[in-house]
Amino acid sequence: MTIAPARRRYGLAVITYLAIPAVVIAGARLFVLIDPEMARGRADYVAAYRRLALARDGVLIASGALAVLLWIACCYLVLRSRRRSLRWLVLAVAGPLGFSVIAGLRDRAPMPGDLYQRFIGKLKPYWRAILEIGTFVATWTLAYTAVVLKRTLMIHFESLATGTPASTIIAQQTASSGMWAAGEGMEAMYLVPLLYLLWPLVFNRVARWFMG
């Protein structure tokens, strides 16, 4: 595999992963827009209602299936860009935890300009283990911190926009803490693979900057 295709595949992996929330959001919005009650007033109300209900459920299932395919494609592209066996693709079922292993695999034929792969390739096994553990902890911590920061900013924005005291908004969120916790948990789990994808790119950019 030449250098250009490897770089292109990794870039496609990032783009593919970024497309997942767009697909999920579009599917959810279409699900809301397709209201079976739009069949009201028609002579074939029952049949039209069923068709609309099936279409709405189909949109939700299709968007979910497409999101899963995009996730698998992202993992596949990362493995191909690093010349690794596709047997590692089974880790995709473990979500962000599995991806932390996939993202940590060393490139078998790193590109000359890939300073990150050159760096980890020179590390002793125990230093590499320490690096991966530190990256894992830092990634999850950063993802959680980003979600908390986003929640805080959204509360202040809503307070300014509606004139509602921030304490009232916090109390409302606390009353439905289960729903908010689930949503924020999904956001954090989405951010973890994204951070893993961006980490080598950021490392290379910063390393080149320091090297002049």
Are residues 91 and 152 part of one domain? no
In 3D, which of 15, 9, 7, 5 has the Cα closest to residue 194?
Answer: 15
pTM: predicted TM-score of the whole model, two decimal places: 0.86
Are residues 58 and 149 part of one domain? no
Domain boundary among 49, 68, 95: 95
Asked if residue 103 is part of any domain, the answer here is no
Are residues 130 and 47 part of one domain? no
Are residues 127 and 33 part of one domain? no
What does the pLDDT profile of the chain (212 residues) look like in tens digits?
445 677 899 999 999 999 999 999 999 999 989 888 887 777 788 888 888 889 999 999 999 999 999 999 999 999 999 999 999 999 999 999 999 999 999 998 888 788 899 899 889 999 999 999 999 999 999 999 999 898 888 888 878 877 778 777 777 777 666 667 778 889 999 999 999 999 999 999 998 888 86
Are residues 212 and 119 part of one domain? yes
Are residues 66 and 152 part of one domain? no
Are residues 193 and 141 part of one domain? yes
Asked if residue 107 is part of any domain, the answer here is no
d(CA 198, CA 181): 26
Asked if residue 204 is part of any domain, the answer here is yes
Which residue segment(s) compose the domain that 42 sits in? 1-95
d(CA 80, CA 114): 16
Asked if residue 205 is part of any domain, the answer here is yes
Asked if residue 173 is part of any domain, the answer here is yes
Are residues 127 and 89 part of one domain? no
Are residues 162 and 86 part of one domain? no
Asked if residue 102 is part of any domain, the answer here is no
Are residues 35 and 8 part of one domain? yes
Asked if residue 105 is part of any domain, the answer here is no
Give the orientation angle of helix 177-211 with respect to helix 3-33, to 10 degrees: 160
d(CA 126, CA 128): 5
d(CA 189, CA 175): 23
pLDDT tens readout for residues 133-154: 999 999 999 999 999 898 888 8
d(CA 160, CA 152): 12
d(CA 157, CA 149): 12
Are residues 120 and 76 part of one domain? no
Are residues 122 and 150 part of one domain? yes
Domain boundary among 66, 95, 124: 95
Asked if residue 106 is part of any domain, the answer here is no
Phi-psi region of 161 (alpha: psi -120 to 50; beta: other; left: phi over 0): alpha
Task: Specify the number of domains making up the chain.
Answer: 2
